[in-house]
């Protein structure tokens, strides 16, 4: 009973302090708002209109139609024309363009012999007939851009010759579920919930106890009957509400502004989010007991935040990472939460069906709270 009163006392104090600290209070709202707008507009893995150059040795109507056909795919736009390979290469070095299309003199001869034109399948050994009609030189340092241009390798050419495109029968039928329009924002917004919560929740609590120490309040607190666990819980609770507000801002705006579907139940969402907020807050508390000033706590927050962004599956697929990186990712609460929230929001999974991730977050909370309470000593030794 008394314990609850003390937790309430700490909580009310924390709320008053938060209310007085206008800047922090503003950031609670502004961080998710601004980040959502920035990320959702800016991040796009579906690349369009890459600036490229062309060296046209052929200078025929055909070569110009070829350029138009390529440009019509929308993948690239021809921004520069060069007279020679050498000039083009220099432009590529300077970074003026990302790739160069070199159209040879005998492009028309190559085209008529090309298999896609439909003059029969050339024998594989016949070099004359199996030659490509033109060449791409690509600045492949950015793999995403290189992949986009590589996708042009097998573009159909039949329409170049006014022929009906011959409908090739694909080997596999591929059905795109959950994000059929392939919009990046659908995948990013739920992930952003994890990243923003990681950032704000860890940051707020990691500074919480350090601040009391820096301002000298701790010396007074430890002479009172407050126990360390009461202090920790009292400090965490206000931020659970703040975390909930932030989640509502991100998912709400994501839904109404960027049309991100919320397919799962709100109850499911609340359970998963609650667990993750608690896990992040507890992590912040652990940092708080390690750091001796607010700068250190801030640095440790960044130390957790960066792998949470890069390894959690928010930016790059978890499956593509080497085993060691996957193991590190497994240790981060953000990885488990990103799986959960994408599951709930996009695929309407029940959280009980993702019990591994749920269980992992619960264990993380309990272990973290124990470590924090153990490390926070009520003496000055």
> What is the closest distance, in whole angstroms, from the C-beta atom of residue 17 to other proteins in the complex?
5
Residue 141 or 379 with smaller CB distance to other proteins = 379
> What is the closest distance, in whole angstroms, from the C-beta atom of residue 352 to other proteins in the complex?
39
Q: Tell me, what DSSP letter sits at residue 87?
A: H
Residue 212 or 357 with smaller CB distance to other proteins = 212
Residue 234 or 313 with smaller CB distance to other proteins = 234
Residue 162 or 381 with smaller CB distance to other proteins = 381
Task: Please list the alpha-helical segments (H only) found in the chain.
Answer: 2-20, 22-42, 61-72, 85-94, 107-113, 127-130, 143-150, 184-214, 217-221, 228-258, 266-290, 294-311, 323-331, 333-347, 355-375
Residue 214 near residue 295, CB atoms below 8 Å: no
Minimal CA–CA distance to 138: which of 146, 128, 126, 129? 146
Q: Which residues bind other proteins (CB under 8 A)?
A: 2, 5-6, 8-10, 12-13, 16-17, 20-21, 215-220, 222-226, 378-381
**Which SS3 state, helix, strand or coil, does residue 365 take?**
helix
Which residues, 6 or more positions from 24, have their beta carbon under 8 angstroms from its beta carbon? 18, 204
> What is the closest distance, in whole angstroms, from the C-beta atom of residue 215 to other proteins in the complex?
7
> What is the closest distance, in whole angstroms, from the C-beta atom of residue 22 to other proteins in the complex?
11
Residue 10 or 101 with smaller CB distance to other proteins = 10
Residue 142 or 219 with smaller CB distance to other proteins = 219
Which residues, 6 or more positions from 310, have their beta carbon under 8 angstroms from its beta carbon? 316
> What is the closest distance, in whole angstroms, from the C-beta atom of residue 12 to other proteins in the complex?
8
Residue 20 or 94 with smaller CB distance to other proteins = 20
Instruction: Compute the half-sphere exposure of residue 361: CA atoms within 13 Å on the CB side of its CA.
Output: 26
> What is the closest distance, in whole angstroms, from the C-beta atom of residue 14 to other proteins in the complex?
10
> What is the closest distance, in whole angstroms, from the C-beta atom of residue 180 to other proteins in the complex?
52
Minimal CA–CA distance to 51: which of 11, 95, 4? 95
Interatomic CA distance for residues 308 and 331, integer angstroms = 10
Residue 53: phi and psi, rounded to 5, are -115, 170
């Amino acid at each position: 009973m008394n314990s609850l009163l003390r937790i309430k006392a700490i909580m009310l104090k924390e709320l008053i302090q938060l209310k007085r600290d206008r800047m922090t209070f503003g950031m609670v709202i502004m961080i998710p708002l601004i980040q959502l707008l920035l990320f959702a507009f800016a991040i796009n893995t579906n690349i369009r209109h890459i600036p490229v150059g062309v060296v046209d040795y052929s200078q025929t109507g055909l070569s110009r139609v070829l350029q138009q056909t390529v440009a019509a795919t929308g993948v690239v736009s021809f921004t520069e024309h060069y007279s020679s390979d050498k000039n083009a290469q220099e432009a590529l070095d300077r970074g003026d363009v990302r790739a160069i299309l070199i159209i040879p003199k005998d492009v028309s001869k190559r085209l008529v012999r090309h298999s896609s034109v439909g003059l029969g399948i050339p024998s594989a050994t016949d070099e004359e007939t199996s030659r490509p009609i033109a060449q791409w030189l690509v600045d492949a340092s950015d793999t995403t851009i290189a992949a986009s241009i590589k996708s042009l390798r097998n573009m159909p050419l039949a329409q170049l010759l006014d022929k009906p495109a011959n409908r090739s029968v694909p080997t596999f039928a591929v059905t795109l579920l959950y994000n059929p329009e392939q919009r990046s924002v659908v995948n990013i917004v739920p992930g952003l919930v994890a990243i923003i919560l990681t950032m704000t929740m860890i940051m707020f609590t990691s500074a919480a106890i350090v601040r009391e120490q820096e301002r000298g309040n701790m010396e007074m607190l430890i002479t009172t009957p407050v126990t360390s666990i009461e202090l920790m819980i009292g400090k965490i609770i206000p931020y659970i509400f703040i975390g909930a507000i932030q989640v509502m801002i991100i998912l709400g705006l994501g839904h109404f502004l960027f049309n991100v579907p919320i397919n799962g139940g709100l109850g499911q969402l609340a359970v998963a989010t609650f667990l993750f907020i608690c896990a992040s807050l507890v992590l912040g508390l652990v940092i708080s007991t390690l750091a001796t000033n607010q700068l250190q706590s801030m640095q440790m927050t960044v130390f957790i935040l960066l792998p949470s962004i890069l390894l959690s599956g928010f930016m790059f697929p978890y499956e593509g990472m080497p085993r060691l990186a996957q193991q590190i990712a497994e240790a981060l609460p953000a990885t488990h939460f990103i799986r959960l929230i994408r599951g709930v929001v996009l695929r309407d999974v029940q959280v009980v069906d993702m019990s591994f991730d749920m269980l992992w977050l619960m264990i993380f909370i309990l272990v973290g709270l124990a470590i924090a309470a153990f490390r926070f000593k009520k003496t000055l030794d």
